[in-house]
Chain A
Amino acid sequence: MVTIYDAKPGLSRRELLKRGGIGALLVISGSAVISPEHAWGLETSALKPETMATLIQMARDIYPHDQVPDKYYAIAVKGHDEQAGKDAAYKTMIEDGIADLDKKSGDGGYRGLGWEDQRVGVLKQVETTPFFQAIRGGLVVGLYNQKEVWPIFGYEGESYSKGGYIARGFDDIEWL
């Protein structure tokens, strides 16, 4: 099972270096991807934690929203770990897909590419593959159907329980 949990913040710098930083934010520890700065972690059971870390980066590169924290991208892709646990062929597709991204990205692998444009260049080479489409397709619901991200986009969600908008700004536009 994949679990997202709130990790204790404040791994020491020494600890971080020892465990090997991946990019600036995410750390692999045992079977988990951890975001020390933002106090959450994602534990994997079927996929390698490095794979999950790359999936999170890939998810952000597919649907980049600079104001959306990594945590929501992690939640959006965690289902692939669950699916991989149930379906060996699926696990192979994901692991091979990520290995292929790393290979196409040169020595530092996919996460070693510093610019989004460089990573997008790699993704464009694989965008018609079932692997890419599985990740992209899953994100459409997995990312944008998280109620927690809606306020970031200014979407207010359910309104019936608040009596609709009849007294809450359905016609409050002022700039026209």
Chain B
Amino acid sequence: MAASFDLNNDGVVVIIGSGAGGGTLGNELAQKGVDVVILEAGARHEYEDFINDEWGSFSQLAWTDKRTTSGDWRVAKDFPNLPAWIVKSVGGSTTHWAGASLRIQEHEFKTLSTYGKLEGANLLDWPITLAEMEPYYAKAEAKMGVTGTNDWPRLPGNNNFKVLKAGADKLGYKECHTGNMAINSVDRDDRMSCQQTGFCFQGCKWGAKWSTLYTEIPKGEATGHLEVRPNAMAIKINHDASGKVTGVVYADKDGKLQEQKARIVAVAGNSIESPRLLLNSASGKFPDGLANSSGQVGKNYMRHTTGSVYAIFDKPVHMYRGTTMAGIIRDEARHDPSRGFVGGYEFETLSLGLPFMAAFLDPGAWGRSFTTALDHYDHMAGLWIVGEDMPRAENRITLHADEKDAHGMPIADVHFDDHPNDTAMRNHAYKQATALYDAVGATRTFPTPPYPSTHNLGTNRMSEKAEDGVVNKHGQAHDIKNLFVSDGSQFTTGAAENPTLTIVSLAIRQADYIAAQMSAKTI
């Protein structure tokens, strides 16, 4: 039975957001007998409600509340009010994610030590190592059913993967397979296996792909210690005179402001909303926002160095059939500065349906150069580049000076400029991917610009020293001991890997820490 807690119950842990971080933390704490209220801004749609239709699903799931953008990234020009393609719904972006579940590499936890100082980049070592993370990665992989771990077979390769693999072989890449995916390759955890339906980004209607919506959340609710409150948009975190947080003000489903009292607050609203909430919680005691004595809240916004390459062949591919992210090449994920940049990147297959291909292949383009590409949609293969981008202090989330949302809360502005390292990496990846498809006989290739950000990271970074970041190695605010950050905004640097597995692993680890501290009565 799902719990229901009183607004004045100040013994609960309040988690803001129900995605990879918040949903996992909520369940992990509930399993330990800790009472939890999750405030989720979006509505609750169960997986049978998902829609196999790109725009229809976008309307159902996407976070479309207005945001503004600035900086030299092309998204600011093409999608000025849609910097990120993430989700406002119970389950958060785990409803939308592709499922790629990769561990961050050892050196990527130590970028400042490994890459050295880089002008214009705010590199810093994580206060945590791969060795410390490994047991939690193992727990997360087991929880999520990651293929290629725990004796679970990898998924079968679809047409798009087969083209990728053929090209990888021709180029001499060694590490190419169908990935480590949190998508059931066999029936397990009371969920069925992948039916190769496509539409992974639109929510898996089979429930084969792991999402907190139908794993962590119902399991947590079954303990009687977890309440998920949908349509509850957090506005402000309150604190007492001593500086401890005491509750969260939110707008309920009718737009009415409520306050849920709390013993502990954990912020997991993704890397735009989490710093927005901390900044909007400024007070006389914390004039620059909560947990912001370092001035780092909202800074170092990262989005991965991304881009896509689509290619047309003289024979059909039907790339959209089957798993959207159906395979990976990892050879370029190494750190090898001889390529002209630090850090590395992954190649992962990707496909868009016709409606989104029209919107994202070359936004704003028109005429025959553009339309003849779409004319051969069923002869297309495609991949996505995901690489480590450089944290920069000026790439940041700020509160808009004038514009406010329906609840009177300033909207977020997202500023992003590419670092020269990002540009060099992207150009290298475009060249390699083009060569890969040419080797299989592509007649035309398209270096496609980055989409609105799906991997939003780093805006409440983890640091050893309080002056360098917002939270410590447990995601606990340096400034306020009963305030935690539980999403990808904790990331000190971005690494080349899709972030969800690390977010889930950190949440499992954080739950252990919070429960221990509660038992010890230190928070």
Contact surface of A with B, Cβ cutoff 8 Å: 62-65, 67, 120, 127, 136, 140-141, 143-145, 150, 153-161, 163-166, 168-173, 175-176
CB contact between B197 and one of A127, A160, A176 (< 8 Å): that residue: A160
What are the residues of chain A within 8 A of B317 when measuring CB–CB?
173
What are the residues of chain A within 8 A of B488 when measuring CB–CB?
none
User: Can you show 6 pairs from A to B with CB atoms below 8 A apart?
Assistant: A64-B367, A144-B354, A144-B355, A153-B377, A170-B159, A175-B315
B 362-389 binary contact with A (CB < 8 Å = 1; else 0):
0010111011001101110000000000
A139 to B318, CA, bound (A): 24
- Supposing A163-B195, A176-B440 touch, asked if A155 and B377 sit within 8 A by C-beta, the answer is yes
Interface-central residue, B162, B205, B371, B378, by most chain A CB under 10 Å: B371
- Supposing A154-B316, A155-B353, A159-B52 touch, asked if A166 and B367 sit within 8 A by C-beta, the answer is no
* 6 A-B pairs closest in CB distance: A154-B378, A164-B197, A164-B195, A170-B322, A144-B358, A158-B52
A15 to B375, CA, bound (A): 36
**Cβ-closest chain B residue relative to A116:** B368
A124 to B523, CA, bound (A): 64
A144 to B375, CA, bound (A): 12
What are the residues of chain A within 8 A of B353 when measuring CB–CB?
155, 157
Contact surface of B with A, Cβ cutoff 8 Å: 52-53, 55, 156-159, 162-163, 166, 194-199, 205-206, 313, 315-318, 320-322, 353-355, 357-359, 364, 366-368, 370-371, 374-375, 377-379, 440
A169 to B359, CA, bound (A): 26
- Supposing A141-B55, A153-B375, A157-B53 touch, asked if A171 and B197 sit within 8 A by C-beta, the answer is no
What are the residues of chain B within 8 A of A159 when measuring CB–CB?
52, 197-199, 321
A140 touches B315 (CB 8 A): no
**Cβ-closest chain B residue relative to A120:** B367
A173 to B355, CA, bound (A): 23
CB contact between A170 and one of B55, B316, B321, B371 (< 8 Å): that residue: B321
**Cβ-closest chain B residue relative to A153:** B377
- Supposing A63-B370, A153-B375, A155-B378 touch, asked if A169 and B321 sit within 8 A by C-beta, the answer is yes
**Cβ-closest chain A residue relative to B167:** A176
A166 to B195, CA, bound (A): 5
**Cβ-closest chain B residue relative to A63:** B371
CB contact between B196 and one of A67, A155, A156, A165 (< 8 Å): that residue: A165
What are the residues of chain B within 8 A of A164 when measuring CB–CB?
195-198, 206, 322
**Cβ-closest chain A residue relative to B55:** A145
- Supposing A173-B162, A176-B163 touch, asked if A155 and B354 sit within 8 A by C-beta, the answer is yes
What are the residues of chain B within 8 A of A62 when measuring CB–CB?
366-367
What are the residues of chain B within 8 A of A169 when measuring CB–CB?
159, 318, 321
A160 to B354, CA, bound (A): 17
B157 touches A171 (CB 8 A): yes
Question: Smallest CB–CB gap between B176 and chain A, Å?
Answer: 14
- Supposing A140-B358, A144-B354, A171-B158 touch, asked if A154 and B318 sit within 8 A by C-beta, the answer is yes
What are the residues of chain B within 8 A of A172 when measuring CB–CB?
159, 318
A173 touches B378 (CB 8 A): no
CB contact between B52 and one of A64, A145, A157, A163 (< 8 Å): that residue: A157
A62 to B52, CA, bound (A): 28
B159 touches A171 (CB 8 A): yes
What are the residues of chain A within 8 A of B205 when measuring CB–CB?
160
**Cβ-closest chain B residue relative to A175:** B315
What are the residues of chain A within 8 A of B377 when measuring CB–CB?
153-155
What are the residues of chain B within 8 A of A173 when measuring CB–CB?
159, 162-163, 316-318
What are the residues of chain A within 8 A of B156 when measuring CB–CB?
170-171
Q: A164-B322, A166-B197, A166-B322 are in contact. List 18 more A-B contacts (CB 8 A).
A: A64-B371, A65-B374, A141-B55, A141-B359, A144-B354, A144-B357, A144-B374, A145-B355, A153-B374, A153-B378, A154-B379, A165-B322, A166-B194, A170-B156, A171-B322, A173-B159, A173-B316, A176-B440
What are the residues of chain A within 8 A of B163 when measuring CB–CB?
173, 176
A170 to B317, CA, bound (A): 10
Question: Smallest CB–CB gap between B309 and chain A, Å?
Answer: 18
What are the residues of chain B within 8 A of A176 when measuring CB–CB?
162-163, 166, 440
A101 to B317, CA, bound (A): 40
A67 to B371, CA, bound (A): 11
Question: Smallest CB–CB gap between A100 and chain B, Å?
Answer: 18
What are the residues of chain A within 8 A of B158 when measuring CB–CB?
165, 170-171
Question: Smallest CB–CB gap between A85 and chain B, Å?
Answer: 24
A155 to B318, CA, bound (A): 8
A160 to B322, CA, bound (A): 11
A176 to B161, CA, bound (A): 11
- Supposing A63-B371, A65-B371, A136-B366 touch, asked if A165 and B197 sit within 8 A by C-beta, the answer is yes
A150 to B54, CA, bound (A): 13
**Cβ-closest chain B residue relative to A173:** B159
A171 to B163, CA, bound (A): 10
A65 to B358, CA, bound (A): 13
What are the residues of chain B within 8 A of A168 when measuring CB–CB?
321
Interface-central residue, A153, A161, A171, by most chain B CB under 10 Å: A171
A54 to B156, CA, bound (A): 50
What are the residues of chain A within 8 A of B320 when measuring CB–CB?
155-156
Question: Smallest CB–CB gap between A75 and chain B, Å?
Answer: 15
Question: Smallest CB–CB gap between A98 and chain B, Å?
Answer: 17
